[in-house]
Chain A
Amino acid sequence: MVRKSIEKFYLCLIMLFLYAPILTLIVFSFNDSKSRAKWGGFTLKWYQTMLHDPVISKAIYYTLIIALLASVVSTIIGTLAAIGIHVMKRKTKSVILNITYLPVLNADIVTGISFLLFFIAIGLKLGFTSMLIAHITFNIPYVILSILPKLSSLNKHTYEAALDLGAHPMEAVRKVIIPEIMPNIITGFLLAFTLSLDDFVISYFTTGRGVTNLSITIYTMTRRGIKPEINAVSTVLFIAILVLLLIINKRSDRQTKKLGGVNV
Chain B
Amino acid sequence: MNRKWLASPYLLWMILFIVVPLLMILYYAFTSRDAEGTRFTMAHLIKSFDSIYMKALGKSLLYAVVSTAICLLLAYPLALILAKHDNGGSTMIFIFILPMWMNFLLRTYAWLSLLETNNGLVNTVLRAFHLPVLDIIGTKYAIVLGMVYNFLPFMVLPIYNTLSKIDKSLMEAAYDLGANDMMRLLKVTLPLSMPGVMSGITMVFMPAVTSFVIPNLLGSGKVNLIGNMIEQQFIMTYDWGFGAALSFVLMVIILISMGILRRYDDMEGGAGIW
Interface hits, B1-34 → A, CB 8 Å:
1-11, 13-14, 17-22, 24-25, 27-28
Q: Given contacts A11-B78, A20-B121, A249-B94, is CB(A88)–CB(B101) below 8 Å?
A: no
Question: Are A169 and B247 closer than 8 Å at their CB atoms?
Answer: no
A200 contact set on B, CB distance < 8 A: 104-105, 213
Binary interface profile of A, 185-226, with partner B (CB < 8 Å = 1, else 0)? 000000000100010110001000000001100110010001
SS of A interface (majority): helix
Interface assignment of B52: CB less than 8 Å from any CB of chain A: no
Interface hits, A63-83 → B, CB 8 Å:
77-78, 80-81, 83
Question: Are B21 and A107 closer than 8 Å at their CB atoms?
Answer: no
Q: Given contacts A80-B9, A103-B18, A115-B21, is CB(A21)–CB(B149) below 8 Å?
A: yes
Residue of A whose beta carbon sits closest to that of B274: A98
Interface assignment of A264: CB less than 8 Å from any CB of chain B: no
A11 contact set on B, CB distance < 8 A: 78, 81-82, 92
Interface assignment of B63: CB less than 8 Å from any CB of chain A: no
Question: Are B234 and A113 closer than 8 Å at their CB atoms?
Answer: yes
A interface residue count range (under 10 / 10 to 19 / 20 to 34 / 35 or more): 35 or more
Question: Are A15 and B103 closer than 8 Å at their CB atoms?
Answer: no
Question: Are B24 and A114 closer than 8 Å at their CB atoms?
Answer: yes
Question: Are B152 and A84 closer than 8 Å at their CB atoms?
Answer: no
Interface assignment of B207: CB less than 8 Å from any CB of chain A: yes
Question: Are A117 and B25 closer than 8 Å at their CB atoms?
Answer: yes
Interface assignment of A165: CB less than 8 Å from any CB of chain B: no
SS of B interface (majority): helix
Binary interface profile of A, 230-242, with partner B (CB < 8 Å = 1, else 0)? 1100100110011
- B11: which of A96, A103, A226 is its contact (CB, 8 Å)? A96
Interface assignment of A182: CB less than 8 Å from any CB of chain B: no
Interface assignment of A140: CB less than 8 Å from any CB of chain B: yes
- B110: which of A25, A38, A109, A173 is its contact (CB, 8 Å)? A25
Chain B: how many interface residues by the 8 Å CB criterion? 78
> For the complex, what is the distance from the CA of A230 to the CA of B27, rounded to whole Å?
40
B231 contact set on A, CB distance < 8 A: 109
A230 contact set on B, CB distance < 8 A: 106
Interface assignment of B107: CB less than 8 Å from any CB of chain A: yes
> For the complex, what is the distance from the CA of A83 to the CA of B207, rounded to whole Å?
31
Residue of A whose beta carbon sits closest to that of B221: A223
> In the assembled complex, how far is the CB of residue A68 from the closest CB belonging to chain B, in whole angstroms?
17
- A234: which of B102, B119, B216 is its contact (CB, 8 Å)? B102
Interface assignment of B270: CB less than 8 Å from any CB of chain A: no
Interface assignment of B230: CB less than 8 Å from any CB of chain A: yes
A81 contact set on B, CB distance < 8 A: 6-7, 9-11
> In the assembled complex, how far is the CB of residue A248 from the closest CB belonging to chain B, in whole angstroms?
11
Interface hits, B115-130 → A, CB 8 Å:
116, 119-121
Question: Are A110 and B247 closer than 8 Å at their CB atoms?
Answer: yes
Interface assignment of B198: CB less than 8 Å from any CB of chain A: no
- A219: which of B27, B105, B111 is its contact (CB, 8 Å)? B105
A102 contact set on B, CB distance < 8 A: 18, 22
Interface assignment of B251: CB less than 8 Å from any CB of chain A: yes
A107 contact set on B, CB distance < 8 A: 206-207, 209-210, 227, 250-251, 254
B10 contact set on A, CB distance < 8 A: 77-78, 80-81, 84-85, 140, 144
- A18: which of B99, B216, B244 is its contact (CB, 8 Å)? B99
B99 contact set on A, CB distance < 8 A: 18-19, 22
B104 contact set on A, CB distance < 8 A: 198, 200
Question: Are A201 and B101 closer than 8 Å at their CB atoms?
Answer: no
Binary interface profile of A, 88-114, with partner B (CB < 8 Å = 1, else 0)? 100000001111111101111111011
> For the complex, what is the distance from the CA of A144 to the CA of B109, rounded to whole Å?
34
| Known interface pairs A87-B2, A194-B101, A218-B105; 19 further A-B residue pairs with C-beta atoms within 8 A, sorted by A's residue number | A15-B96, A17-B152, A21-B108, A24-B114, A84-B6, A98-B274, A102-B22, A105-B258, A106-B254, A109-B210, A117-B27, A173-B3, A201-B212, A215-B103, A219-B105, A234-B106, A237-B102, A242-B101, A249-B94
23 contacts between A and B (CB under 8 A): A17-B149, A18-B96, A20-B110, A20-B114, A21-B108, A22-B107, A25-B110, A80-B6, A84-B4, A84-B5, A98-B273, A98-B274, A100-B18, A103-B18, A105-B254, A106-B254, A108-B210, A109-B210, A113-B243, A116-B234, A137-B17, A215-B103, A222-B105
Closest 5 interchain pairs by CB? A84-B7, A81-B10, A21-B110, A107-B210, A114-B21
